[in-house]
Each structure stands twice: as structure tokens, then as C-alpha cells.
Amino acid sequence: MNFFQNIQPTEYQFYKPKQLVLGKTMEEHLRLSVCFWHTFCWQGTDMFGKSVFERPWKTKEEKIRAGFEFIEKLSLKYYTFHDVDVADEGPLEEVVGLMAEEMEKRQIELLWGTANLTGHPRYLAGAATNPDPYVFASAVHQVKETLDATHQLNGHNYVLWGGREGYETHLNTDMAQELNQLGRFLSLLADYKHKIGFKGTLLIEPKPHEPTKHQYDFDVANVYAFLQKHGLEKEYKVNIECNHATLSGHTLPHEVAYAIAHDLFGSIDANQGDPLLGWDTDQFPSDINTYTQTLYLILLNGGFQSGGFNLDAKVRRQSLDLEDLFYGHVLGIETIAKALLNAAHLIETGHLQEIVRKRYQGWETDFGKQIMSGKMSFETISNYVKTNKINPKPVSGRQEYIELYLNRINAEHEDVALI
């Protein structure tokens, strides 16, 4: 059964999977992935309204087949899933065979799998951070089953998003106890990963709040501190989501830069929020500027290792038609593809790198090197300033010039084809 045979998705203008950019194909650079939950499970409900989408797939088998057909039709190579997305609430092992068959048939790979530890009522007060050790144990069991399936499907990563690992009120919460439980959980999981020989990367996906008032994996900096405390900073990397970054008061490039600076960068959940709304709207990426700046950082860092761009995004509730699923994904893919071209252009000209190099060139002098290598003490530095009457002159950061330059690069395009 084909679900999308009557739909011809609009052609890509920027995304040419086999086009070489800085020595790699666009497909290799971006590792674009479709997620099962928003695209094939979400029925268009919201806090105030019922299901509005009428999808032609009814059983879990049909949903899985529809998913793979859709990904192939978009010429993409990766997907992501939660256990409950594909197995409904049943055992995951019942559908792993079908997923493997579809992957083989359509040459599609698993970017990552994850367990949904937020939906079931048992996780009301958290999963690993629950006051009840039997809930902790149930979460261990669920994650083990999902990691086993991810391993069997040769997943490139395994993701943990702590949707209920947080608190609603201090008054009933022992925070130190909960944080130690989370540390234990993550240590146990890392040990198990090595035991079964899973070669993928374990990723933590930070998010500041929603559904809980405060989540313990608030942002990348917070996750890094937590991992370090538990001696796990070499075991985990981060899956950074654009809309989570903005909810935490940062931007996607900020979170990516922070992760890169701490050797923690893993993967991206590509979407964006609405600047007027304080919740996770999970819209398809349309802001080329944000993604250009993000890709610039990623490319300078050598590109993705095991990660990629997972389109963790959903169409708006009024986008009722199957065609809208295609427009949503094509919008996201084209945004990221154009951003890749822009970022590659920025790197090829070397102009920005040169500006940054010059800005920090003082640190390449003997004086700068002596400070950084620890050869000068606090007092020696102070004496140096006094003796040599040091009086540094402020210099321009050239922000407007750089933003103008970036705008010109972002705007440069071939003729835009009408859809």
C-alpha cells in the first residue's frame, strides 16, 4: 500500500543531496532525518482542541510503512523514533523486524532511537528522578528495551530527553536526592552501552522547562556541569534543539558554540519557536540566518560525527493536508541546505575567520602566550602593567559590518522557482 503516491513533493531548489560542498556531498554534511512522533503520530491535538488530522494510516504497521515511504519520497536517508511512536503502547520487538525490513528496502538508516519517559502516568513525578525506586527501575527497563532495539537497528546515536526529570515545587522535592538518582541512571546506562557493544553516541537533549516547571538538563552548560560531577563527560554528548535553546534564553548558535567548546557537540533537533510564545511550538526551520550561523560553527569544527539534523518539527494545526507534511519538511530542508551553502561560502572566503583571528592576535604574542601558559603570576602581570604604563586602546568589534556582510551572503540566490 502506498500512502503518498498521488503527491509529488515540490522540488528542492537548494538541497541537492549529491552536490559537493567543501569536499563532501550535501547529504553527507547534513544527515537530515525525519522524526516519527510529530509527522506520523501527532493528530493535531492541543491544550484546547481535539484531533484534527485524518491520516490514512491506521495500524502501527501502516504507520511504519507510511513513514519510510515518506522519507524515501523526500530523498532523505535517516529517521528517529520513540518506542511508543512505532510500537504504539505494545512491545517494541514486535515492530523492529518491520523497521529493519523497510530500512533495508529503502536504504534508510536510524539516526537515533529514544524511549518516551514522559507520557505514561507512572512517570508523573519523573522517571530516573522519581521518589519511588520502582519507577526508576521501570525507566531502566524501558530504556534497556529501546537501546537494545536501537542497537539491533544499527542506530548512530541514542537520545535521552528528560521531559519530567525536574520538579514542580521545592516544597515536596529533595533536589540533591533526585540529581544523584539521575547521575546513577546515566552511569548505569553508559555501563550497559559498553557491555552490549553499542557503538553509537549517547546524547542528552537539554530543555529548560515544559512539561516540568524546571528541568535538570536546563541547557548545555548545565548538562556539562552535571556530567562532570558524575564523571560522565566522556560518555555523553548533547542533542541540541533550536526551540529548547530559545526557551532557555539562548540561541541555537550559542548552545552549539558552548557544546563545541566543551567537546560535547553531538546532534541537532532542527526546528524553531515563535518569539511571542513561551512554549515549544516545534515549527519547521525557516530562519536561514540562525541556521547559517549554526552550520558555520559546525563546519569549522569538522562537521557532524555521529549526529545530524533531525527535523523535530510539526506542521501547524491548520495545515490539514498530507501535502502540508511535505511542505513542512521541504521548508526545513531548504532552510538548512541554503544555510549550508551560505556557511560554506563564509568559510571559503575566510573573511570572518580573519576578522576573528585579528581580534585575538594579541594572544599569539609572547606576552599573551606567557599569560596563558601560566608563566606569569597575578603579581607579575600587575607589575608589568605598572612598569610599562600599559593603557590598552578600545577597538571596534565591527558587529554591524559583519551582520551586513552576512545578510548579503544570505540574500544571494539563484532565481527563485515558483512552487
Among ligand XUL, Co ion, none, residue 207 binds (CB under 5-8 Å by kind)? ligand XUL
From 83, 85, 217, 219, the catalytic residue: 85
Q: Closer to Co ion by CB, 85 or 312: give it.
A: 312
CB neighbour burial string for 268-285, b if at least 16 within 10 angstroms, e if fewer: bbbbbbeeeeeebbbbbb
The site that binds ligand XUL (CB under 6 A) totals a number of residues, namely 11
User: Which residues sit in the known binding site for Mg(2+)?
Assistant: 205, 241, 244, 269, 280, 282, 312
Tell me if 133 sits within 8 A of 120, measured CB to CB.
no
Closest CB to ligand XUL among residues 127, 295: 127
Cell of 337: 541546505
Whether omega before 56 lies within 30 degrees of 0, making that bond cis, reads no
Site for ligand XUL in 315-354 (CB under 6 A): none
Residue 82 catalytic? Answer: yes
Q: Does 255 bind ligand XUL (CB under 6 A)?
A: no
Binders of ligand XUL among 215-244, rule CB under 6 A?
Answer: 241
- The catalytically annotated residue of 82, 156, 230, 262 is 82
Give binding residues as ranges.
205, 241, 244, 269, 280, 282, 312
Q: Which is nearer to ligand XUL, 114 or 342 (CB)?
A: 114
- Contact with ligand XUL (CB under 6 A) among 252, 269, 328, 340: 269
| Contacts (CB under 6 A) with ligand XUL, residues 117-156 | none
Q: What is the DSSP string of 123-143?
A: GTT-STT-SSHHHHHHHHHHH
Write the burial class of residue 343 (CB in 10 Å: 0-12 exposed, 13-18 middle, 19+ buried): buried
Sign of the CA dihedral with 103 first, then 104, 108, and 109 last: positive
Q: Which burial class, exposed, middle or buried, applies to 74 when counting CB atoms under 10 A from its CB (0-12, 13-18, 19+)?
A: buried
User: Judged by CB under 6 A, which of 312, 315, 333, 335 binds ligand XUL?
Assistant: 312
Report phi then psi at 367, rounded to 5: -60, -50
Residues in region 48-67 near ligand XUL by CB under 6 A: none
Is residue 174 among the annotated active site residues? no
CB of 99 to ligand XUL, least distance (A): 17
Task: Report the site for Co ion in 219-258 (rule: CB under 5 A).
Answer: 241
Length of the chain: 419
Rounded to a whole number, what is the distance in angstroms from the first to the last CA of the chain? 28
Q: What are the catalytic residues? A: 82, 85
Please give the residue ranges that form the binding site for Co ion (CB under 5 A): 241, 269, 312
